[in-house]
Structure 1
């Protein structure tokens, strides 16, 4: 068989008819270190006796750092210690080479970096992507007969590429799927290949068997995914290789397709369109459906549109390819053909998962989801793309093209399941997900993701309701002075004691606050970001109006640290609890997350009723100060966990403000509501004078251990 390579060279390869990869095998080059039998990577023979490979492969073969920037040293005109071999040749048939052009890996565009006065920043191990990393070598020895360069061409998305290990051994062939293209590289996967792309494939040509063209150069691997430098980037760096580059046949793709990506889609899908819509009636019916779905004018009445009309229309509209392929799949004569169309849709347009109708409906349903897309996606895809602080339209666009590493369910559908947990209309999002999964034949797989989303939401809610870190202070005032004996301890969320300090000898408040400030600082360092610890002050029954929440525990002229404005500061008074009501306290404590706070101006029998189906778990004392003491004592005695009131220094309007503050608040939300009121309040506002008892049946410290006598 005679093949004419672009550039005029004629090569006779009698084996091409039986081996579709003969052309690239004849041009495959292996790189060795002198005296060794292990290939460090591969390369591609191009016309003119040149070898194209990655610069880092040359560096590794010579024992240099991977991203060494200077060209390798030469001896007698050849790279010292580097030899190349052609697979299938004699064992001793290794050739000397010289560096013709050198473009090491760097962190900026190598094409412009060469023209800049300052050197570019080298790439580093651990970088996800880099520029350059190309080397053009010249053979210094004559090639054996029958060896010539392979032609270059554009890549196509899909499972049509192959690569070999650096040695070129036939058993190392890897079947490659070209998933997408970044700014610099092609993204490669090997989901159905017996041989993955591992270290040692770098520098080897990426071969498109159907096009009979080299479409890239394997450059990197990260976990299960590999990458290649596309040929368009190679020829941009090395213009001398452009004669070997075969441009797409734009005329064969129809009018108006100047985008190589559109040409690749055209070549993949034109045959499925013709095969699925063979007759005029089929095309006329599908054309009306496609035009309505995309919101474009339908073809003129009369002659049914040609197959080319469908692809031209789909390529010109957002979500057009996915919409077209869904319409074709619905008309497929068999399940196997429908599945084949779905696979072709993914490979032809990997960034288009949704049809136009599905996309519009999803954005409408996501409008009311309160958490930002970044937060929902982080919960659903811990190893997924890191979204910026964008809205749902941009997030959906990014997630559409993100494919999961494991499993079949697209990542977008998983994120929708997690979004449904936060949405005001979860049923609408789940119905939408069910419809898309049914179209993609993924209903069974989606059920597992729905279960996981529900479990994650329940776990998060339980975490939100979990107890924060707690600092407890038992206070004993010495007479009527401002001196106290105290015991202090801090508890982790699981109840473990982290700090314990006792001072039974009375001391001034300043000494107490110095100790407290040190413990609070340590608790802050040990807490999760955003956590507000709770400070519980155990006081005697005649000290319930002690304004501990307004104590300045860290003085500062400009920004004093106030206890109740920095922490959820509450009071506890087990002394007032009646033993016969302890079961009631435990019962009310369990219901605190659902029971609302009851405003109380006078004695209300509902507070004292035991075993109510909806027990009173929180009380806001909004009556006159003369009634506050009695009502407070009753509520605490019968086991109400949360009791809040304004201290007597506040004016007569405090009750109305407190009623407004606690309206709709659950008992469990009382500490947070009071904390926020203290932050927002003016210097003499009601929030600065609120006292709160928040007392449950757990974590009650033992009696203060007295120190040994002197």
Structure 2
């Protein structure tokens, strides 16, 4: 790009955001460096892992799924800020030209890579670098793993055979040394990393002395790294944003060539092209010529295809000076072509900056706002990963914006074939409606300007704004309802469960907010997850949330209500049963009953009129219970079960099979004489207030050792779907689309 030039800034700025410090086992020293790839993955050298573990440096033995301490210099430099990363891929060091071990004294070797995985994605400013192939003659920069600004070492690729690049340094400044291995080799001229630091050349005995090699080191080329990672199945996902950033800046020639036409129509006049290009360069932080010339249309097209936010920034500049309908059509054509590239993005530099400021402020006031707004605004598509949790921290806002920029547009019809409303703008409208006041007006003004720049018809934006207002009004009085499903695999530990969590929307549909099905979790972990989801759901804080936990028949005895979700910073324990209407459900028993679904609906509808049934010593066996539920208690919605554990469990199961929606028992009772212990829970009072009475009783029981009862409550609200009943509709057809009745095996497991 001759007319546009990179700024005269610190050439390491982009790469240091991806630099990783790998710490020794005792966190007392820097074992080496690494580089952030994308998502939760980091790349370093295998010998850096060995050094961190105190093993022989070039040992080829896979240490297994070990956990190392790492940190990001872009965030902090102290050991106290370390994060844990697990080893997930291992490419052992090997001799340069065969698969054997590396001999002592070797000057170079092959392999020697390790991929680590963090427990969660790092916050900005940590971000992936762009990668491209190494070639001879490149000037590159490396850093010590600690990331200190003064630790950079500038070298030149003196020789490169496609696998290894030899790096020669000047006789002044820092040299590549211990602690640099695994870090990126950054080419400022290319704006990309081109390889990893591997080692330094030390003089062998007799061949030559230190005067010849005092500043020579070597690195593994990116082309070789890419090949090695592919061999072990650790190559980045080509569909992920991070992988796209790593794929290089290769311009799609066809798209670039197609952009030339609309650019000629819009900026054929060199004077206008120079003015808009100068403004564009200033917004992007690029230097531009001041000699009165203008860039060629082809050079401008290449910039739009390769520099992030260049196209929407130019469109923002052009939108105010369009020449009628023809100019608008050409700009729409240019924006449509931009969607075929990875670099364009949705927002201009100024639009992006303004939204980050607004959302950062709102997130600090209400961490659950953006997840709630996204769940309501995009009810029939999978939410971006950053918005599936109940809360979003301010440092997560840039990642959420980036993900929403890439999400599909509005599926509803639009007038005159105008562009559809992007998902990001829809979420902005819902967040504005939920916020109110001046903040609402500021967000709506921002959304209106972006929509106008994109050519979106005013009626399309107005319709979504009205939808958001109705949702906000409707959600104000809606109580929080959270669905939890617990399951176990045969090999899981007895005291751990896998879980999935949904929160119910105001319109009766469910949003999957979190899943723990990938590994078994403790009760404390599950309780914390439930508390986070319930606390961030719409309506949180207005009343007590209902948490309905679906379990297997043999897990109805679980003390889920006693699971403590308090964090380490809280002053006292917080069992789930204290803060929520914690109730149980058992889908498996319902499905096994031929008439269970109809019985449940009938009994639930009659719950205010029917009398409760007490299943105690007067009911001799299951057949007597069945007789009563089919005759004198045909509409009974509530059963209180007493008696010893074995008999109580059998009666409980038959109650659920007969469609009884409300069953209360004392799971701590051991004999029929313990029945009176439940009286404090008011089992015979108004039925809809029973969950609250049980919660009050639990608060008292948890705090007073003189209260031995532990009430358990099955509450099968006939209007509340079970996890296997949740539906996913086609986003373009709305909730009544043809796929609305799909079963989980057909894809509903990803319903949001």
| TM-score between both structures, scaled by the size of structure 2 | 0.29
Larger Rg: 1
Report which structure shows greater RCO (CA 8 Å, sep ≥6): 2
